[in-house]
Structure 1
Amino acid sequence: MIDVASALEYLHHGSSIPVVHCDLKPANVLLDENMVARVSDFGIAKLMDEGQSKTHTQTLATIGYLAPEYGSKGIVSIKGDVYSYGIMLMEIFTRRKPTDDMFVAELSLKTWIRDSMPNSIMEVLDSNLFQENGGKTNDILTHMSSIFGLALNCCEYSPEARLNMANVTASLIKIKTLVLGANGV
């Protein structure tokens, strides 16, 4: 997920003309032979004109990953990619798609995670993570709380309230450093 965050950071802030992916989801992330994530499928990506922070489009991306302003008004901005990234981050650690059958009416992936914070994270976390960590539950819960909090910040309803990808990348690297330190690596 750090690789994906770094790629988005580059697209959004790496040149004077930001690139908005517009359809970030797990199916559009490929792993190379070294397990490095590569963002792919730029079919509906938008180039923002210099000084432009948002634009309108009639092209819709994938349901479940769309930022509210994109789905309802067709407004595209780098903050929409941040929203999609937050959803993807939740999906990776819960192993639940935002379109899962369990998410009906008022229950969504975001509300499910939000309601689990901070005391019920075990109920939403992918159980395979415990097997790989050798059962060190306290280590996982501490760091997963930080990751889910970051994902929820990416998915704020208001685009202005969302983090930018530079902050997301820095936060993930900090969490990774803490995890590796906690595991003695």
Structure 2
Amino acid sequence: MVVNMNLRKRKQSWKENEEEIDKNGLHLYIKTSTGKGRGVYAGKAIEAGEDICRYQGMVQETDPADEDDTYVFEINFKGKKLWVNATKEDDTFGRLINDNHKNPNCRAKVFESDGQPQIVFKATRYIQKDEEICYNYGPGPYPWRTKVVSLYIFSTERRCCMAAHNRFLKMKDGSMEDINL
């Protein structure tokens, strides 16, 4: 579960991570994703089932959701709820993979390594070169999933302007009317 996306500028030294990714035969890069901030993109085609990258951070037993500016992944590990906090800016790709609940191209898999939980993103389908890597963050009130439709209507009967957002019209007098757009 990602609590909040961070839009700070990323430092440009990704050399260490690129070498790690190259060992697996995968090439990834970061660029601005429309409406989402930074995102991770495939530098070459990725086959279904291939490992893409890891989500790395500090494993915590308490939910850091109250902290501002966080990248947090919630997992169940050995029957216990844990949070992997990747808020600290670093050279890894996993923390920058964006949400796509309608058409994700990868999934997160939790496994154990040296007694610690690890998270790896695996391709669920063929991913084309230059395609953004996305996964489904799961259920949650993510603001970018809300379809906002704005409609401005002038009513001669009421002699006011109205603005429609989603299914509700906000009248000039402040009252709300339910509609179906």
State the TM-score bracket (shorter-chain normalisation).
under 0.3
Q: Which has the higher strand share?
A: 2
The alignment's TM-score, normalised by the length of structure 2, stands at 0.25
Q: Which has the higher helix share?
A: 1
